[in-house]
């Protein structure tokens, strides 16, 4: 049994091998980009169902609306902090409205009115 000589059939020059391997690399890159695009679309579709990624904010909103008491809100914060391993931040009341600033321009000088002559 003899093996047929296939040497001349696959003998390629340097330039032909360079083109072949460049094409193979380009094909792998295109397939990889398509796979990544599909995975990204799938991930975004999965995330579309998630409405509130931060449960603490929903409890904060419930506390601000008066649906839960301060004690209940603090208990939720402690439980979440225990799970995460962080120290809970205290609830800070919103700052009071700042007094209106004076109008721009030179400061007004108040001079007493001059009495009428007479």
Task: Summarize pLDDT for 91-109 with one digit per residue, the tens.
Answer: 565 566 556 666 665 556 6
Residue 85 pLDDT level (bands cut at 50, 70, 90): confident
DSSP class per residue in the chain? ------HHHH---HHHHHHHHHHHHHHHHHHHHHHHHHHHHHHHHHHHT-S-S-HHHHHHHHHHHTSS-HHHHHHHHHHHHHHHT-PPPPP-PPPPPPPPPPPSSSPP---PPPPPP-
Burial 67-93 (b: 16+ CB within 10 A, else e): ebeeeebeebbeeeeeeeeeebeeeee
30 and 41 both lie in a single domain: yes
Average the pLDDT over 5-11 and give the result: 64
List the domain range (segments joined by +) for residue 22: 14-50
Exposed, middle or buried: residue 18 (CB in 10 Å: 0-12, 13-18, 19+)? exposed
The answer to whether position 9 is within a domain reads no
Q: Is residue 118 part of a domain?
A: no
Do residues 83 and 58 both lie within one domain? yes
Same structural domain, 38 and 64: no
Number of domains comprising the chain? 2
**Cα(102)–Cα(98) distance, integer angstroms:** 12
62 within some domain: yes
Instruction: Assess if residue 5 is contained within a domain.
Output: no
Residue 86 counted as domain residue: yes
Residue 33 has pLDDT above 90, yes or no: yes
pLDDT > 90? residue 38: yes
Report pLDDT for 51: 57
């Amino acid at each position: 049994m003899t093996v047929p000589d296939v040497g001349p059939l696959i003998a390629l020059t340097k330039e032909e091998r360079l083109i072949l391997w460049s094409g193979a690399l380009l094909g792998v890159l295109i397939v990889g980009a398509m796979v990544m695009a599909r995975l990204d679309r799938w991930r975004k579709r999965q995330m579309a169902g998630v409405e509130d990624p931060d449960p603490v904010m929903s409890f904060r909103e419930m506390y601000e609306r008066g649906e839960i008491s301060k004690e209940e809100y603090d208990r939720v914060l402690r439980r979440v902090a225990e799970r995460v391993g962080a120290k809970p931040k205290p609830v800070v009341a919103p700052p009071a409205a700042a007094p209106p600033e004076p109008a721009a321009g030179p400061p007004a000088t108040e001079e007493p009115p001059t009495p009428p002559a007479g």
